[in-house]
């Protein structure tokens, strides 16, 4: 036991030390690339794969220490083997990167053998760190690359490729296959994620919680505002919904339950708020960076296009949460607000955030912007006052967590690169596009609905970037053939890949929230869908109204569409949640859903008849609620 404990500590120090060295190495390369690109990519692969193997071994040792068994011993031995293979294979590739780049695809038998080992270790590490389903997809894609030419169906088959050719393009060419997205990881993601980590380390979460309290004291149901503000803002710089729930939910969910929210509702609110982090700029998660990489456009263009949909999401879900709080008779927040903390910490957040955003707007690389922002954060934190200045141990803990996160994201990106390589070389995406063109109707709205369902199903057990790429590379080309611009088609897929976090039956975000709240998974998922459901129309609206993605440029008609979309989503929310001024009965809720449906149809087909039907039904509904059945109804008593 003592040996296992000591070994775990040693492995943690090795992992942390290698992560720091990798960060310094990437930082120097962001400022000045002093090596050939192939050598840099290969060296990056060495660090990410070996650190991932060390972390897996550490986890295996710790599990074996807690529950000693034959199975745990086998897992530990397997983890040791994985670590040894990882070191040997990646170091070999790094030392031979220049030669391998020159001889492609005519590699030696030893290179092929090393390539097989690399493929095996990548599938293994992706499986243990990101789940069996993602590992299986990578494995199946490699099998298809090798033997897909044997498939009798002409649309699915590809030309025969030799094993050296396959291995060469998967892992022995430092700019293809597993290396394909390393440039994206280092130039766009690495230091932007670490920048967010440093913000958290100097007290961002405490600041946002206090701001949430300040707003929450002014509205009924205010206990939800620390989640609405804190989880949304933290998520916008982390870009990871489930990780965000685990971080902020520990604070927000107990507070909501304390003030009267049901456990399932508290978990649902936290899930909805944390999910918005993948929709709110500046950091939209790895999938958004992949949109930029696949379409070969600057990342800032993707981030700007996300602004109006993000505003619609936050505004609509906030109104829905306020409706829910009225139903459950939640009063005002009574927590004391630490205004001194807000005054001290606000500059530390706003000034670096503004600096990084300005650099992004000036088309500096995201990693460079994040790298410049980090020392700015540290300097400003010195002026937060002794009481609010971050403790060194806490800051180091946050940084260590950020290093783990960025290595895991890098491993994910490397795995996705292998999958994208297979899709690109075999032309399976264009073939599937042809197949879909034969079997699917050419009706755009029906195809969009089918795409939505595919995205949600794909995202049930897969990380958002994988779900996005899987659908974007297969269904995306067919959407573009129907006349949908590339960026809008990819955004449509991206949006629904994110929604899988809250969509039953898997809803990983709700599952994470339930572990904190102690509520029912089914009820939490149902509550989350009531809150977030109306925003499902947003992607359809921007497909038929492309100017909704053109921030900051918007016309008068664009503002009309933006406002009308919000109104339609609020009306749909009234029907799903069941409240407007007072609880609604079944007929009233059905009427709200029908009215919202009229508005949705108008936003898609632009028929004035449906606009008239929507506005008329809304007016009749208001007359009924204020002067009909609910006339003279007293407001729900306020709870103080």
Q: 434-468: per-residue pLDDT in tens?
A: 777 677 666 788 888 888 888 888 777 677 788 88
pLDDT score, position 48: 96
Burial of 616-638, coded b for 16+ CB within 10 Å and e otherwise, reads ebbeebeeebeeeeeeeeeebee
Check if the beta carbon of residue 38 is closer than 8 Å to that of residue 101: yes
* Rounded average pLDDT over 515-531: 90
Q: At what angle do helices 339-361 and 190-201 cross, to 10 degrees?
A: 170
- Neighbouring-strand partners of residue 582: 580
Residue 489 CB-half CA count within 13 A: 21
Predicted confidence band of residue 276 (pLDDT cuts 50, 70, 90): confident
Residue 355 CB-half CA count within 13 A: 19
Nearest-10 Cα torsion for 51, 57, 63, 68? -170
According to DSSP, residue 187 is labeled I
Q: Which two tokens stand for residue 319?
A: 């109104």
Residue ranges of alpha helices (H) inside 328-391 are 339-361, 366-381
The mean pLDDT of the chain is 86
Residue 230 buriedness (CB in 10 A; 0-12 / 13-18 / 19+): buried
pLDDT score, position 219: 82
- Neighbouring-strand partners of residue 580: 582
- Of 576, 508, 578, 510, give the one whose Cα is nearest residue 537: 576
Residue ranges of alpha helices (H) inside 276-365 are 286-295, 299-305, 307-327, 339-361
Q: Quick check: 547 pLDDT over 90?
A: no
pLDDT score, position 629: 63
* Rounded average pLDDT over 303-318: 91
Helices and strands (H and E) in the chain: how many: 31, 2
Q: Quick check: 3 pLDDT over 70?
A: no
Predicted confidence band of residue 104 (pLDDT cuts 50, 70, 90): confident
Check if the beta carbon of residue 629 is closer than 8 Å to that of residue 582: no
521 vs 627, more confident: 521
Check if the beta carbon of residue 144 is closer than 8 Å to that of residue 426: yes
505 phi, psi to nearest 5 deg: -90, -10
Distance CA 40, CA 24 (A): 13
Predicted confidence band of residue 64 (pLDDT cuts 50, 70, 90): low
144 vs 243, more confident: 144
- Of 154, 26, 163, 175, give the one whose Cα is nearest residue 98: 175
pLDDT score, position 2: 64
pLDDT score, position 47: 95
What is the CA angle 65-408-253, rounded to 5? 80
DSSP secondary structure string, 486-514?
HHHHHHHHHHHHHHTTTSTTT-HHHHHHH
Neighbouring C-beta atoms of residue 543, cutoff 10 Å: 22
Burial of 43-70, coded b for 16+ CB within 10 Å and e otherwise, reads bbbbbbbbbbbbbbbbbbbbbbbeeeee
According to DSSP, residue 387 is labeled T
pLDDT score, position 4: 66
pLDDT score, position 9: 87
Q: 229-244: per-residue pLDDT in tens?
A: 877 777 766 667 777 7
- Of 428, 419, 412, give the one whose Cα is nearest residue 171: 419
Distance CA 481, CA 636 (A): 53
Q: Which two tokens stand for residue 218?
A: 């002014």
Q: Which two tokens stand for residue 478?
A: 């067919």
Name the strand (E) or helix (H) holding 582: strand 582-583
Burial of 74-110, coded b for 16+ CB within 10 Å and e otherwise, reads ebbeebeebbebbeebbebbbebbeebbeebbebeee
Check if the beta carbon of residue 37 is closer than 8 Å to that of residue 175: yes
Residue ranges of alpha helices (H) inside 131-203 are 132-147, 163-171, 182-184, 190-201
Q: Quick check: 635 pLDDT over 60?
A: no
- Of 132, 11, 127, 19, give the one whose Cα is nearest residue 65: 11
Find where tokens 């031995």 sit: 77
Distance CA 166, CA 519 (A): 49
What is the CA angle 152-156-161, rounded to 5? 85
pLDDT score, position 640: 42
If phi > 0 it is left, if psi is from -120 to 50 it is alpha, else beta; for residue 296 that is left
Distance CA 504, CA 522 (A): 8
- Of 508, 498, 575, 478, give the one whose Cα is nearest residue 539: 498
* Rounded average pLDDT over 271-283: 82
C-alpha dist (Å) from residue 303 to 109, 121, 230, 352, 447: 45, 34, 20, 18, 26
Q: Quick check: 365 pLDDT over 60?
A: yes
pLDDT score, position 631: 55
Distance CA 80, CA 364 (A): 41
User: How much is the pTM?
Assistant: 0.85
Q: Quick check: 32 pLDDT over 70?
A: yes
- With a CB cutoff of 8 Å and minimum separation 6, the contacts of 530 are 268, 320, 324, 573, 576, 577
Check if the beta carbon of residue 220 is closer than 8 Å to that of residue 267: no
Q: 570-594: per-residue pLDDT in tens?
A: 999 999 999 888 888 899 999 999 9
Distance CA 349, CA 338 (A): 16
Q: What percent of the chain has pLDDT over 70?
A: 94
């Amino acid at each position: 036991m003592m040996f296992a404990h000591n070994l775990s500590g040693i492995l943690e120090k090795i992992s942390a030390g290698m992560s720091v060295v990798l960060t310094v190495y990437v930082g120097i390369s962001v400022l000045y690339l002093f090596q050939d690109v192939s050598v840099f990519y290969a060296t990056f692969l060495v660090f990410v794969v070996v650190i991932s193997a060390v972390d897996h071994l550490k986890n295996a040792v710790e599990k074996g220490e807690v529950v000693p068994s034959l199975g745990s011993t086998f897992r530990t031995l397997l983890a040791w083997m994985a670590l040894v293979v990882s070191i040997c294979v990646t170091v070999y590739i790094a030392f031979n990167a220049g030669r391998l780049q020159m001889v492609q695809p005519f590699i030696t038998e030893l290179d092929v053998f090393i390539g097989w080992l690399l493929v095996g270790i990548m599938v293994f590490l992706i499986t243990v760190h990101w789940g069996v389903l993602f590992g299986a997809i990578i494995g199946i894609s490699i099998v298809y690359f090798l033997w897909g030419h044997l498939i009798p169906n002409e649309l699915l088959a590809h030309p025969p490729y030799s094993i050296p050719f396959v291995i060469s393009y998967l892992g022995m060419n430092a700019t293809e296959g597993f290396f394909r997205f390393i440039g994206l990881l280092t130039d766009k993601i690495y230091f932007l994620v670490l920048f967010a980590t440093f913000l958290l380390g100097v007290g961002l979460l405490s600041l946002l919680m206090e701001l949430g309290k300040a707003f929450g004291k002014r509205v009924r149901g205010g206990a939800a505002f620390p989640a609405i503000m804190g989880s949304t803002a933290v998520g916008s710089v982390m870009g990871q919904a489930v990780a965000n729930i685990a971080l902020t939910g520990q604070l927000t969910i107990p507070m909501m339950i304390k003030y009267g929210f049901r456990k399932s509702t508290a978990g649902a609110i936290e899930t909805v708020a944390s999910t918005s982090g993948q929709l709110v700029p500046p950091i939209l998660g790895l999938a958004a960076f992949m949109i930029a990489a696949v379409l070969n456009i600057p990342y800032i263009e993707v981030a700007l296009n996300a602004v109006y949909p993000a505003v619609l999401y936050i505004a609509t879900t906030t109104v829905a949460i306020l409706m829910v709080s009225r139903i459950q008779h939640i009063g005002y927040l009574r927590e004391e607000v630490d205004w001194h903390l807000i005054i001290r910490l606000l500059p530390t957040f706003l000034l670096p955030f503004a600096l990084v955003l300005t650099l992004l707007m000036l088309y500096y690389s995201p990693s460079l912007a994040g790298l410049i922002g980090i020392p700015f954060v540290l300097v400003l934190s010195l002026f937060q006052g002794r009481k609010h200045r971050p403790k060194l141990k806490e800051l180091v803990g946050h940084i260590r967590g950020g290093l783990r996160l960025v290595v895991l994201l890098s491993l994910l990106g490397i795995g996705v690169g292998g999958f994208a390589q297979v899709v690109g070389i075999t032309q399976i995406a264009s073939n599937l596009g042809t197949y879909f063109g034969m079997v699917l109707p050419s009706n755009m709205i029906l195809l969009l609905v089918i795409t939505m369902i595919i995205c949600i199903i794909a995202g049930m057990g897969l990380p958002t970037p994988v779900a996005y790429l899987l659908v974007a590379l297969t269904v995306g080309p067919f959407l573009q053939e129907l006349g949908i611009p590339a960026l809008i088609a990819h955004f449509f897929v991206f949006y629904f890949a994110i929604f899988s976090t809250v969509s039953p039956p898997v809803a990983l975000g709700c599952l994470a929230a339930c572990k904190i709240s102690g509520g029912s998974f089914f009820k939490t998922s149902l509550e989350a869908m009531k809150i977030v459901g109306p925003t499902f129309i947003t992607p359809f609206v921007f497909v038929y109204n492309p100017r909704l993605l053109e921030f900051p440029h918007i016309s008068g008609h664009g503002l009309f569409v933006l406002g009308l979309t919000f109104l339609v989503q609020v009306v749909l929310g009234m029907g799903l949640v069941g409240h407007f001024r007072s609880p609604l009965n079944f007929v009233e809720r059905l009427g709200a859903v029908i009215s919202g449906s009229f508005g949705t149809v108008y936003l898609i087909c632009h028929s004035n008849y449906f606009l008239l039907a929507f506005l008329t039904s809304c007016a009749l509904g208001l007359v009924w609620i204020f002067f009909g059945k609910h006339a003279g109804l007293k407001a729900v008593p306020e709870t103080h």
